[in-house]
Amino acid sequence: MTDQQYFRDKVVIVTGASSGIGLAVARLFGSFGSKVVMAARSIDKLRSLAATVNADASRVLCVKTDVSVEEDCRELVRQTVEKFGRIDILVNNAGLSMRAMFKDLDLSVLHRLMDVNFWGTVNCTKAALPYLLETRGSVVGVISIAGYSALPARSGYSSSKYAIRGFLDTLRIEHLTDGLNVLVFAPGYTSSNVRNAALTADGSAQGETPLDEGKLMSAEAVAEKMARALKHRRSEVILTPLGRATVLMHRLLPRFTDKLTRKFIAREANSPFK
């Protein structure tokens, strides 16, 4: 069965769908003939992008959603079911990053990271779960290699991604016998806006990326890997050779990996270590 055949007419909710991985995922599923629900805080941006997901407006729903707000997530699910009658896939992609040493960090930044990244995943999953169980569907949590091996100067980011992994691994075990597929999806460094919007110590946006975005995996390539994993109902995906090597080294040689990771981050442009 082709991807187009497998995903056609499936109802897919994508949070953080206004840019980066979320937008690439929405567009890919739209190209497969899925009915796509795009969720993000900027409804105007979503509406401007909807035609790039599917030219048939009846197959795309845009919902203004702040995933850190539980009621917004319930409303997202309500509108989805009202329009399309079901939910087959929930992609929890909305997220924030940060870049600052913990000793310099205003704790409001950490709270904000957890509210969006962790609680956003929990809120949306809780609202969608009854419908996903009906369809024996899939819930995806987009985490990071930082959810397996912590990154310095990203205390809030790494903490939230570890937390998402723990939550989804628990959810998977609870539903081993009723057909729910739970995918922990960990891209490596991906070209996106996430580093430009990353929060600094005082909560302001970083404004520029410290990496050469052109050398990173594209959001479109990440979306294709996710679709393949969902088709085969995988429970875990770790992308890129560097990402897989980092996770393995962290398991086998944790202290050595800590030292390598610190050296790697210290080489970034305007590193907080400098």
List, for residues 191-202, the tens digit of each pLDDT value: 655 545 678 877
Confirm whether 108 is domain-assigned: yes
Confirm whether 44 is domain-assigned: yes
pLDDT value of position 104:
93
Q: Name the active-site residue from 131, 148, 157, 162.
A: 157
Residue 157 annotated in active site: yes
Confirm whether 236 is domain-assigned: yes
- Percent of the chain, pLDDT > 70? 92
228 vs 271, more confident:
228
Q: What is the DSSP letter of 218?
A: P
Confirm whether 221 is domain-assigned: yes
Read off the pLDDT of residues 151-186 as tens digits, 9 standing for 90 and up. Answer: 999 999 999 999 999 999 999 999 999 999 999 999
Confidence check: pLDDT of 213 > 60: no
In the predicted model, what is the mean pLDDT of the chain? 92
Joined together, the tokens standing for residue 70 give 């539980």
Residue range(s) defining the domain that contains residue 210? 3-241
pLDDT value of position 206:
59
Residue 259: Cβ-neighbour burial (10 angstroms; 0-12, 13-18, 19+): exposed
The pLDDT-based confidence of 272 (bands split at 50, 70, 90) is: confident
Rounded CA separation 204/195 (Å): 12
Question: How many distinct structural domains can be found in the chain?
Answer: 1
Tell me how many degrees the CA angle 144-219-201 measures, rounded to the nearest 5.
50
Confirm whether 263 is domain-assigned: no
Confirm whether 264 is domain-assigned: no
pLDDT value of position 194:
55
Judging by DSSP bridges, how do beta strands 60-64 and 35-40 pair with one another?
parallel
The residue among 135, 116, 246, 142 whose CA lies nearest residue 181 is 135
Strand blocks (E) in the chain:
11-15, 35-40, 60-64, 89-92, 138-142, 181-186, 236-238
Confirm whether 32 is domain-assigned: yes
Confirm whether 270 is domain-assigned: no
208, 193 contact by CB (below 8 A): no
| CATH for 28 | 3.40.50.720
Confidence check: pLDDT of 208 > 60: no
pLDDT value of position 185:
98
Least confident of 4-8, 132-136, 199-203: 199-203
Backbone CA torsion sign across 69, 191, 182, 169: negative
Question: 155-174 vs 119-135: helix axis angle to the nearest 10?
Answer: 20
Rounded CA separation 142/152 (Å): 20
